[in-house]
Each structure stands twice: as C-alpha cells, then as structure tokens.
Structure 1
Amino acid sequence: MPQKPWLIGVDIGGTFTDFVLLDTRDGRLLNGKVLTTPHAPEQAVLNGIAGLLAQHGVAPEQVRHVIHGTTLVANALIERRGVPTGFLTTEGFRDVPEIGTELRHDTYDLFMRRPDPLVPRRLRLGVPERLRADGAVLVPLDEDVAREKIRALRHGGAQALAICLLHAFLNPVHEQRLAEIARQEAPELTLCLSSDLVPEIGEYERGTTTICNAYVQPVFERYLARLGDGLRGAGLTGPLFLMLSDGGTVREDVAARNPIRLVQSGPAGGVQAARVIGESAGAADILCFDMGGTTAKAALIDDGEPQRSLDFEVSRVDRFRKGSGFPLKVPVIEMIEIGAGGGSIARVDRLGLIRVGPDSASSDPGPACYGLGGTLPTVTDADLLLGYLAPDSFLGGDMRLDVAAAERAIATHIGTPLGLSALEAAWAVHETVNQSMAQAAAVHALEKARRIEGYTMVPIGGAGPVHACAIAMKLGLPKLVSPPGAGVASAFGFLAAPISFAHLRAMVAPLATLDLDRLRAMLAEMEAEGRAMVAEAGVTDITIRRIAAMRYAGQGYQVEAEVASLDRDALRQAFEAEYRRLYGRTEPGLPVETVGWRVIVAGPTPKLELARPRDSAAPSLKGTRPAWFGTGFVQAAVHDRTALRPGDTLAGPALVEERESTLVLPPGSRATVDAALNLVVEFG
C-alpha cells in the first residue's frame, strides 16, 4: 500500500479552477471547483487545495504529488503580459517575425489585420553570420558585433532574449556561441535558443515559437515559484508535475524551460479524460466536446488515440480564422475552438443577428447571474432563464444565481433590440451557440477526412453537458456518453496522462539517399535525452515511439507517420499508408523525402478506476422543474446524479444535476447508467 495514496489534479480555466482528489487505494474521486483568481492564479489553486483537503479530512502529508494544467501561457500571449523580449537573428532577417509567410488569412479583406509582433523592430537585431542549407559554416559569427547587439538589447530594456539563426536547426554552433556571449554581457537575460526549443525547418515558425517561449518564460517561472512555495508551505512536499499540450506530463523544472509546450495544457487534459471515459463505455471513436467558461473546443479520438499535430496558432486576431495568429511549432493534441463558453457575452450586431463571444465575462465580473457586478448577457444567463440550471444548487449550493439579473441582462441587450421576450431571447442565444458549434464540429471532421456520424460524443467542462444533447442531435450522432464529474474532467485527465516528453529534430533528405547510419545515431541521441528526462521523474518503465515527417518531393507540407523499422522501404510504406488515409491516393512515381523526426519517450499510462456508486439507496428523483424546449416550458424531472446506480434508466425531458454541471436530456431521449456511472444517452 502506498505511503502517500492521494493524487491531486488542478486545472486553471478562464472562469473556474477545478480540482480532483484521487485515492489510489480504491479509486475514489473527490471533486472541487472555485472561481479563478486572474491576477494571482496560484491563490485559487492554493485555496482550493486547502479547502478540498480540509473538507475530506486528508492530511497534506498524504498527497503523493500534484499535476497541474493551466491557460496561463496562452493568456499571457493573448493579453500581452510577457516581458520585453529581444530577438537576435542572422543579419538581413530581423523582419521575418513581421513579414511572416506573406500568406493572407482573408484574401479579400483590404483591411486585414495580423497580430502585432511581440518584439518591436528596435529590439530585433541581426548579427553577421551565415550557415549553408546543409549546416556548413559559410560566414563565421562576428563576435564583436554580437556583443554590441546584445548590449544594445539589454540597454533597450529587454529582459529575455530569443535567438533564432538561419539553418540553426541543422547546426547550432553559432546559436550556442551567441548564448555564451549573452551570458557574459547580460547574465540577467532569460535565454531561449531555437536549436534547443524547436530544431525544425521553417525560420518563421521557428522564430515565432522561440520568441513566444522567451516572452512568457520569466512570467511562468515566477508563477511556478510562487505556486511551489505555496504548496510546500501548505505541507505538500511531493513533486509538482505539469500537463503538456500533447497529453504528456513533466516535472516543473522541465516545464519552466519550455513553457510554450504548455500552451494547450488544460484542453489536452480534457481530451485525455475523454479517452479514458470513452474506453470505460466501450467507445473507441470519440468526439470530445469541451465547453468551459470561456471557450468550447472539439477533438477527435480515433481508436482510442487522440489526433496530434506539430502546428498550432495562438493570439489570433480573428479567433476562428486560421492564419491570423502566431504559428507555433510545438507538439499538441489537435483540437479546434468551435464556439463560446458559458461566460461568453451575447450581443446583437448591426445586422440584427445574435453573436456570442469571443469576449467573455470570465470570473470577474462574471455573468450577470453571478451577482458579482456583471451586467452583460452570457450563455450561462440564457441557460439559467431556460430552466436548465437551478439558482439554488449551482456549485452544490455554494453560489446562488440571480435569476432577475440574468433576465434583465438578456431582455435589455437581446430581447428589446429584437422585439423578443426575455425567454425567447434566451432560447435564441442558446440555439445560436448550439448551431454554430455543431456546424464547426462537422466541418472539422470533414477536414480530417472523417464522418462525424461515426463518433460518440463525450461532453466535458462545466457547460458541456448542458449543451451536449442538443448539439449531438444536430450532428446526427448515435449516442452520447456523459461522465460523472464532467465539470472537472480536465483535472481528472491530468491524472490519466503518462510522464512523457517529445523531442524534435529536422533531417531534410531524399529517402533514396538518406544516410541511415546518421539517422540511427540522431534518433539514439534523442532517445537518450528523453530517457534521462523521464527517469528524473522516477519512471523506469519506458516506451518509445518514433514518428517521421515526410512528403513527396516538391510539396510544401508534410505528413507524419509512426515507423517501426528504419529501412527505406518501410519508411515509404508508412508514409504512403498515412498519405492514402488522409487523401485517398498516393503518387507511386514521385520521390519521397524526410523533413523531420519526433521521438516520444513515455512512462506507463496510469490505470485509474472510475467512479463507484455510493452505498446510499436514496432515490435520485428530486422533483420537477420547468425547462424550455423549443416552443415553451415543459416539466422536466430533476435527478441527483450522485444517487444514480448502474442499470438505472432516465427518460427525457430530464435534468441530471451534480455539483459541477447539469446534463440536459431533451424530450425523446433515453439515458442508461453503465457500470462506470456514465450516462449513455440515445436519441429517439
């Protein structure tokens, strides 16, 4: 029996901070949720953990470790709360971060906007040096000029320095020498080298990734220091792990060096949770629908494996338009933002149409119904008026919702401009959100060559179960699996994620002339680095995956394929199998070339026992409540989720309440409780 049986998962969202306390002896899960403290996120974490441990009589010394995911990195980039950052690059290339790829995300908009560079031009400087396309030195680094430029950046106010030289992904010698000079001339600067962080082809994407990492690293390091001190001060002496965007976890010291790898930290935990939940219900192909307080995201899980990517964008000017943000070359679980969250603000635009988001009331001042000073209508206000949420049992009764304030906000800003009653306006907001999210999820599946009808939805997030059935019906999905504790699923997903880290390296070479000995040596080095990093976290049972990025010669985009053998025929077969799956065809006569490699070193995936029924035999039915479905109110049965037992069946209309969320079952639907206490919903 472990001496420290308890694990804690913590997810900081835009509106709420979620907690899961797991007893590894019997699989018992205890949940918590508090309002996020945006100006000092660690305070919500520390207060929530202290409250959860006290509530259940768990001593801090009994906690083995804490696993944490956060939106802090993404928010720091979006809200421009990083530190003044300098950028050193090859002479003549200082404007690459502003020029980009010259692609337009909106061809016909003459006033198209792009995000302003994080580094102003005065802090972007070039140094004389040049490497050939094969990594050989063409022009040696001018160290005297380099010292002058570093001193100029320091005097210009830079607190962090991003170094990204042309072709440094093939040969880091000049970047490493610049780092040595910077430590001599300005030891107080935080340094980030592209050759360490993202040794991949593409100077623009490599540069923006390095800049973003340098920009947020001091902020993130200070946050981790405050959080670590607070945890230790509270008696939690076990290690702190953090969730990466690709679904793995690492120790806090690794995360501190690579904060950009946490840009999708929280949502990645949600996908990991959906994977485990789907597995418990016997579903392999899953549509993870994660709707929290600020955004709603969707991710596809095929045969139990989330789709992954090396491309991600942050700080978009146009929230839903690809190409309007900073491109990042980091491993991520692939997901798409498909809509608004519970706190997203609704309004009527100049055409008389209802728009929801992208701005959110967040936790301060929050939706109007929170009674914290918010006066603008949100999705949560609409859901409250429609009867889906109970004003006296929100967050288990810890927060009472103000129905009158919600009605006033909806009527003033939506109903009156459109000539609708407050209830009609609330339904219009609810339907607008559902329709837009259903459409975006269907388009995302089509872009991935998938038919959405073949997936089982797993809704998570505080607002996910409220909207899930309506969206699933619009998509024509056969069934939906709603787990217990959906409102804190991301925090649970952190506990279900393995210790893991992915190393990236470029190797651009025709497959026909690929130096296999050099490739094997490079992969062995990457594996050794990964083994050492994972071993530091106390993991000895390790698995290794090797993934090659390849393309047909002349193409601008590559396809990733996992490979088991390193001979040329096997590499081509793996590439063409994945290419055929994506595009339905191959080009047998065209030569293939490798572009880059990813080596994933991971420990075992934790085996978690999901929720168990309580011993109480109390009935689940608490009464009825009017809920609006389409044309008016109907009486919906209200059930206590914690009282449901395996085999119980419910018929819609019904509202299934738990502390963190409410599942809305529309008329004609039927739900059955399975062995893992999931509600498996089918639609008539």
Structure 2
Amino acid sequence: MTGLRVGVDIGGTFTDLCVLDETGIVAVGKVLTTHDEPARAVEEGLKRTLAEAGLDAADVEQFVHGTTLVTNALIERKGSRTALLATAGFRDVLEMRREHRYELYDLLIELPTPLVPRHLRFDVPERILADGSVHTGLDEEYVARLGRELDARGIDAVAICFLHAFTNPAHERRAAEVLQDVAPRLRIALSSEVVPEIREFERASTTVANVYVQDLTERYLRDLERRLHAAGVRPSPHIMLSNGGIATVDTAARYPIRILESGPAGGALAASAIGSATGVEDLLAFDMGGTTAKLCMISGGTPLVTHEFEVDRKYRLLPGSGLPVKVPVTDMIEIGVGGGSIARIDALGLLTVGPDSAGSEPGPVCYGRGGTEPTVTDADLVLGYLDPGYFLGGGMTLDAEGAREAIRAKIAGPLGVSVEEAAWGIHTSVNEDMANAARVHAVERGKDPAKLPMFTFGGAGPVHGVGVARALGAPEVVAPPAAGVLSAAGFLTAPLAFDFVRSERSAILDLSGEQVDALFAEMEAEGGELLEKSGVDGAEVTHRRIAEMRYSGQGYEIRVPVERGNWPESLVAAFTETYRTLYRRTGPDVAIEVLNWRVVSRGPVPEVTLKLADAVAEGDARKGSRPAYFPADGGFVDTAVFDRYRLKPGDRVEGPAIVEERESTVVVPPGAHCVVGEDASLVVTV
C-alpha cells in the first residue's frame, strides 16, 4: 500500500488513533471515549487527527479497529434477551458450571450470574451420542412451539447447544431451520459453528455469549461503517480479532465473541514487531491505559495465544471465577489498575486501588470534568511525574490542586500521612499489583520475568514501567515512540486471519498420517475460502497446524505445533519438548492422545514501519526541570525534563529525569539511565 493506514483503539478512558504511511507513523491522536456512542469518538478523533496533520481521508487505504465493546457488554449485562436450547437434562449446565470451587474454603464464594436466566433455558428432547450416532431424534414440533412462544414473549436471541454437536451437528442445524421458519426475527447461534469442540460448559457459555452480544455488535459496526464513509474513508474497516488477526465487518458481526480482547491484542502485536526488529524476540509486554493494565508474554517474536479465557471474574487473579469463553485470545493477564483507577481506604483501613475506574466520564479529579474520587493519574500528577500544562501535548490542562485536595480528603487524612506519602502509596501499590500479576503469569508459562526486558506502552505504562520492572527484577524497560497509542499502531501489523477447530479424541498411535492430513485439509480449505472472500489472494494464504494433546488420563491438554511428515515421531517429539518446557519434566510412560486439532489460516503480514516518520526536531532536548517525588532520595528531587521529539539516537539521559511526548511520559528514577535507540525507542536500564 502507498496510501494511509489508520488504526483506532477504543479504550475505557481514551480512544487512540495512529496513522501510518510507507515511511512510518505520520500522525497520532487521543480523544476521550464517548461511551454512549463509541463510534462518535472514532469519527471525531479521525477528523481532528487528519486535519491537524494535513492529511486527506480519501487517501486512507486501510482502517483497522479494535474495541472493548463486547467485553463491556458482557460485564455490564447489556446484551440481547437470550434463550438457551439444550439437550434434555442439560439446561442447567450454565449454572452448575464444572462443580469446581475456585476458592475451596471461602463460604461466601461468588460466581458471575449466567447470561441466560433459568426460566429461559429449555430442555429439548433429542440426544446424540459421543460417536455421533443418534440415540433420540429431535422433537421438531417441540422446537417449533417453543420458537413461536419465544418470539411472542420478545426474546431476541437463541443459543443452541446440544450434547456432542461438535461430532454431529445435524440436530443443531435442523433446530435452527425450524426456529427460522416459525420466528425469522430471532438471532440464532449454534455451538457447532461458534465453538465446535469438547467440554459442555465452556461450549455452552461461549455460544450464549456470542449471540448475546451479536445484535449490539452488528449495530455498532454498521454505525462505524456509516460514519467512516461519511468522513471520506472509502474502504470498509477491518476489525481486530482477539487472536492477533483481523477480519471483515461481516465476519466480526457473525462471530462477535472473537473480538472480545481485540484492543489488548494490538499492543502485543506492536511489542512483538518492534522487539523482533531490534533482535529481541523474548520479552514481557506491559500495557497500562486509563482503565486496565495488561501483561503479555512474547516468545520467539510472537505473542502467546490461549483458547481459555474468562470474562467478568469476581476475583481478578483466580481462574474459575468468571464466565469462560473458548475462543483464541492473545494470552495475557488483565488487572483493573489504570490511570483512572480509583483509590480508597477499605473496611480494614488499608489503601486499595481499583478495579473500578473513573473512566472518561467523569474521569480523574484532575481532568476537571466532575470527578471527586482520587485516582492513579491524580497521584502521578501530585508526585510531579506529569506536567499539568502538557497533558496530551497541551490539549488538556490538569487541575493539580484539585488532585491534591481529593487525595488529602479521601486518603491522606484518614491514614494520617502527608498528601505526597499518600500519592506515593497509590503509585507503588499499583506497581506491586502489576508486578505480582506479571510474576505469576510468566512463571505459569515457564518463563523467568527477571530475565526478560519489559516493553511498556499505553498512556500510563511508561510512567509506571520502571517501578514495575524493579519490583520484578527485570533488567531493562523499552518505551517505544508513540507509546500512548501503540495498540492502535499494532493493529496495522496484523494479517487477515481466522482459527478453526475440530474435536476428535484419538491416541496418536491409532491414527495414520493420511487421516491427520485429511482432517487438517478440511479446515485449511475452509480457511482459504473465508480469506479469499475477504480479498486475500489464495496463493498468499498460509496455514499453521496445532494439536491439543495430553497424556492419557490427564484432565487438560497443551498446545503443540504439528509439522508435516514423519508421522507420528515428529508430533511425539514436539509434545515431549513442549511439556518439558512448561513443567521442567516429562510425564509417565502412558499413551499420548489428541483432543482437538486446530488450524490458523492467515494472509500475508503487512509491511509497516512502527517508528516516527518525522525527523528529530532541532534544538536542545532539555526543556527544563521540576520537582518529582523519589522517597529513596529524600522526597522531592529537582528532575530534568526532556522533549522526546528532540532526542537523537545514541543520546543518553541520566536519572532522575522525565521524558515527555504528547501521549505519554517516561519516568527515569534516580540510579537508572536511558539510551535512545535507532528506532527512537527509549531503553531504560533499571
């Protein structure tokens, strides 16, 4: 492409925009998110950003968008009125879950409320056995009567999840046909299409979630298309998927659950792209925005991907406390601490931060938009890390005195400490929370966080990056250019891609290479057809094969790459090596089996440059100095302030120092120093 590429990421507080051409990043923008109409902020931000840079919307050749719309709709329960049709005897699977207590001795354990209440979950007479044979035929008259009643009662969506439909989907498909005949208004999702794989609870939960948000998502995407075309953007937008690929609006509208974590995936892609360009392929990506912080492992230049994810966790670090969604998602841990996270004194008299956020409405106290609760951004301002006159490059003036007063009234006074000590407590509490989460996340994936450089971005990430790295023992922190909007830039590195899965449990030695190739070929043909319809040349489509495997008798499986040829020795060797990497040992001398077979079909990876296209500005990079709070050095310390746009590759900055750009601020504490890389990234040695 020779025209412009635009990436837009809607976050809980800000909507970020990044514009690239063949030379690199030519414009960035950040506007407050409009929660009542998210597409409005996209339209307004795009017009403003292009106008300020002297660019024309007609030159936009690609528009890629990521959003938290689906996640928020599930958490806030703002989807369609939905019913569930299940095999007779299995309608309560959403409530019974896996009969597992994620906190064994907590008598007051909380679980998220099912998206479908019990009176809208129905037992349908039918039964297919595990081998795909029909035990009890589908009662079509029952389905027709039920469809007419649901339509009359104002139900908008129906999820159909029959037992063993991943082996034989005939009953699900016929039930959908019957419902469409008697109630064509209903939206219908089939588990055999949304998530055709083993495990009943996760399959039902995912299918319900998909159709629950489908109407909301489609209306939003169509509104976005309309606004973009009205603004002069000719191509239809592509939508970022949670797995690191992109899809057309039609595909995203059909499978909205696939865009659940689309925003965070962009940051992980950008971190891997910039890291690989500089020869660093193993790192920890740390993204801190206005509402949440995300941490992701990059291994071998690629973000890790998982097919196990939970939404609306009641306890943020405890698996099993949320709604499971079984779709491919960039493997990251997300915690509710961001710039807008609210600090308070809990019932025990202790300082806590988050997970609730002031967001963009009303926002932190210092925004001057009516906020009254002290937040992380208010604390960072009081500590001198942020310039009240240069926030968003001077586009927003912060109220420093309002922030001080809020912290004095709500935190410092009750604790009997100074405002600065209270603000430092908020700042370090957030750093420790993120470091603890990062440590658990890395170790569970067989990595040592103390040996990995940390790649930090997001509006608040570079402010807290060094503090988190020191708590982890990480050797260095890398803050890329345009760090405040890097997730939006990362969208533009993503290829068109989609994942396919088939559940077919078999011992490896019971299968021939021809059987496996035929199974994969079916999914690869489906992927090639979908991508060609999206505009990808069939000759440029690639496929990656994956098997989910375990030792016979184990309850869960691991993902293993499948190489063509040398069956089955190559797969056994790959499984053994992957198992040893994760657990530092191999398993018992028993049979190895496969549960699921997966294919990731991708188009070509775009060739983009994630560095600022503008030349380094002339003049002295040092802007002056201001007091910043570093208690280990006695409190407030006179700290040099630098203009990032005037720093040249090879420049060295000694701490204490603050490096400012329009969308983010890098804090270099005493004892640390940073060097400007060839790509303009700041590499801070902690």
For this structure pair, what is the TM-score category when the shorter chain's length is used for normalisation?
Answer: over 0.9
CA distance in 1, matches of 2:466, 2:29: 25
The aligned amino acid for 2:262 is: S
How far did residue 335 of structure 1 move? Answer: 0.3
Residue in structure 2 matched with residue 573 of structure 1 by the alignment: 573
Indicate whether 1:185 and 2:176 are aligned: no
Query: Paired residue for 2:286, among 267, 286, 289?
Result: 289
The answer as to 2:362 corresponding to 1:362 is no
Quote the Cα distance in structure 1 between the aligned partners of 2:220 and 2:394: 31
Ranges in structure 1 where 5+ consecutive residues have no aligned partner: none
**1:516–1:137 Cα change, 3 Å:** farther
640-649 vs 510-519, which deviates more?
Answer: 510-519
Query: Which string of whole-angstrom CA distances, capped at 9 and with x for unpartnered residues, describes residues 351-406 of structure 1?
Result: 22110001000000000000000000000000000000000110011110001110
Cα distance 1:28–1:446, how it changes in 2: closer, same or farther (>3 A)?
closer
Indicate the residue corresponding to 1:13 in structure 2: 11
What SS does the corresponding residue of 1:340 show, helix, strand or coil? coil
> How many angstroms apart in 2 are the aligned matches of 1:339 and 1:221?
27
Provide, for residues 412-445 of structure 1, a one-character-per-residue CA deviation record: whole Å limited to 9, x for no partner: 1100110011111101111111112112211221
Measured in 1, the distance between the counterparts of 2:569 and 2:650 equals 52
- In structure 2, C-alpha distance between the alignment counterparts of 1:153 and 1:543, rounded to whole Å: 43
Q: CA offset at residue 514 of structure 1?
A: 2.5
8 Å Cα contact 2:462-2:666 kept in structure 1: yes
Q: Which runs of 5+ in 2 are unaligned?
A: none
Alignment partner, residue 657 of structure 1: 660
**TM-score relative to the length of structure 2:** 0.97
1:515 shift after superposition? 5.5
Maintained 8 Å contact 1:339/1:433:
no
| Corresponding residue number in structure 2 for 1:346 | 343
Contact 1:339/1:437, CA 8 A, preserved across alignment: no
Q: Across the two proteins, how many residue pairs are aligned to each other? A: 680
Whether contact under 8 Å (1:163, 1:175) holds in the other structure is yes
Match of 2:674?
671
1:322-401 mapped onto 2 (5 Å cutoff): 322-401=319-398
Among 211, 215, 226, the residue aligned to 2:212: 215
Q: Provide TM-score, normalisation by structure 1.
A: 0.98
Does 2:555 correspond to 1:556? Answer: yes
* Larger displacement relative to structure 2 (606-615 or 639-648): 606-615
Shift of residue 518, structure 1, vs aligned partner: 4.0
After TM superposition, give the deviation of residue 516 of structure 1 in Å: 4.6
Greater mean deviation of Cα atoms: 345-354 or 74-83? 345-354
Per the alignment, residue 630 of structure 2 pairs with 629
Distance 1:454 1:670 in 2: 19
What is the DSSP-based 3-state SS (H/G/I as helix, E as strand, rest coil) of the residue aligned with 1:356?
strand
Q: What is the 5 A alignment of 1:224-243?
A: 224-243=221-240
Q: Tell me by how many angstroms 1:184 deviates.
A: 0.4
Matches within 5 A, 1:192-591: 192-514=189-511, 516-540=513-537, 541-565=540-564, 567-587=567-587, 589-591=589-591
* Partner SS, residue 659 of structure 1: coil
| 1:612 Cα deviation after fit | 4.3
Q: Distance in 1 between matches of 2:568 and 2:281?
A: 32
Secondary structure of the structure 1 residue equivalent to 2:164: coil
* C-alpha distance in structure 1 between counterparts of 2:502 and 2:605, whole Å: 25
Identity rate of aligned residues, in percent? 51
Q: 1:474, 1:424 → 2: CA distance? A: 19
Of residues 159, 163, 186, the one that matches 1:162 is: 159
Deviation per CA, 1:571-591, whole angstroms, max 9, x where unpaired?
222212211111122236200
- Amino acid of the structure 1 residue aligned with 2:3: P
Letter of the 1:562 counterpart:
P
CA contact (8 A) 1:127 1:149 kept: no
Say which is worse superposed, 532-541 or 208-217, in terms of deviation: 532-541
Q: C-alpha deviations, 1:222-281, integer Å up to 9, x for none?
A: 001111111111111112101111111111111111110111110010100111121233
- Counterpart secondary structure, 2:619: coil
Which sits farther off after the overlay, 279-288 or 369-378? 279-288
The 1-side partners of 2:277 and 2:427 are apart by: 31
Hey, what's the Cα distance between the residues in 2 that align with 1:217 and 1:545? 28
Q: State the AA in 2 paired with 1:417.
A: P
2:646 paired residue number:
643
Equivalent-residue separation in structure 2 for 1:582 and 1:339 (angstroms): 27
Contact kept? 1:613, 1:644, Cα under 8 Å: no
Distance 2:72 2:200 in 1: 25
| 1:595 counterpart residue number | 595
After TM superposition, give the deviation of residue 126 of structure 1 in Å: 1.4
**Separation in structure 1 between the aligned mates of residue 437 and residue 64 of structure 2, nearest angstrom:** 31
Distance in 1, Cα, partners of 2:151 & 2:316: 34
* In structure 2, distance between residues paired with 1:305 and 1:279: 9
Once the 2 structures are TM-superposed, how far is the Cα of residue 613 of structure 1 from its aligned partner? 5.4
CA distance in 2, matches of 1:392, 1:28: 25
> Greater shift after overlay, 276-285 or 345-354?
276-285
Q: 2:36 aligns with which of 29, 34, 39?
A: 39
CA gap of 1:183–1:339, structure 2 versus 1, over 3 A, is closer
Q: Quick check: 1:621–1:639 contact (8 Å CA) kept in 2?
A: yes
CA distance in 2, matches of 1:150, 1:104: 36
Q: Distance in 2 between matches of 1:378 and 1:247?
A: 31
Distance, in Å, in 2 between the alignment partners of 1:591 and 1:197 is 31
Quote how far apart the aligned CAs of 1:522 are. 2.5
Q: Which amino acid aligns with 1:585?
A: R
Q: What's the secondary structure of 2:650's corresponding residue?
A: coil
Tell me the SS of whatever aligns to 2:98. coil
In 2, are the aligned partners of 1:614 and 1:643 still within 8 Å (CA)?
no
Partner residue of 1:57? 54
Deviation at 1:616, TM superposition (A): 3.1
Provide the secondary structure at the position in 1 that maps to 2:640: strand
Distance 1:391 1:229 in 2: 37
Q: Could you report, residue by residue, the CA deviation over 1:56-78 in whole angstroms, capped at 9, with x for unpaired residues?
A: 22221110021000000000000
Which residue pairs with 1:91 in the alignment? 88
Q: Do the aligned residues in 1 keep the contact of 2:616 with 2:645 (CA within 8 Å)?
A: no
| Secondary structure class of the residue paired with 1:336 | strand
Aligned residue type for 1:590: V
SS at match of 1:527: helix
Conserved? CA contact 1:550–1:575, under 8 Å: yes
Contact persistence 1:291–1:462 (CA under 8 A): yes
Q: Is the CA contact (8 Å cut-off) linking 1:281 and 1:678 kept in structure 2?
A: no
SS at match of 1:73: helix
1:136 pairs, out of 122, 126, 133, with: 133
**2:384 partner letter:** G
CA distance in 2, matches of 1:528, 1:288: 34
Tell me, yes or no, if the aligned pair for 2:335 and 2:355 is still in contact at 8 Å: no
Letter in 2 for 1:8: V
> Is the Cα contact below 8 Å between 2:225 and 2:236 reproduced in 1?
no
Shift of 1:135: 1.0
SS in 1 for 2:417: coil
Whether the 8 Å contact between 1:14 and 1:293 is mirrored in structure 2 is: yes
Contact 2:372–2:406 (CA under 8 A) maintained in structure 1: yes
Alignment pair present for 1:69 and 2:66? yes
Paired residues of 2:336 and 2:356 also in contact (CA < 8 A): no
State which drifts further: 664-673 or 441-450: 441-450
C-alpha spacing 1:515/1:94, structure 2 compared with 1 (3 Å) = farther
Q: Residue 108 of structure 1: CA displacement?
A: 1.1
Structure 1 distance, partners of 2:146, 2:519, is: 33
Tell me whether 157-166 or 558-567 shows the greater mean CA deviation: 558-567
Secondary structure in structure 1 of the residue aligned to 2:213: helix
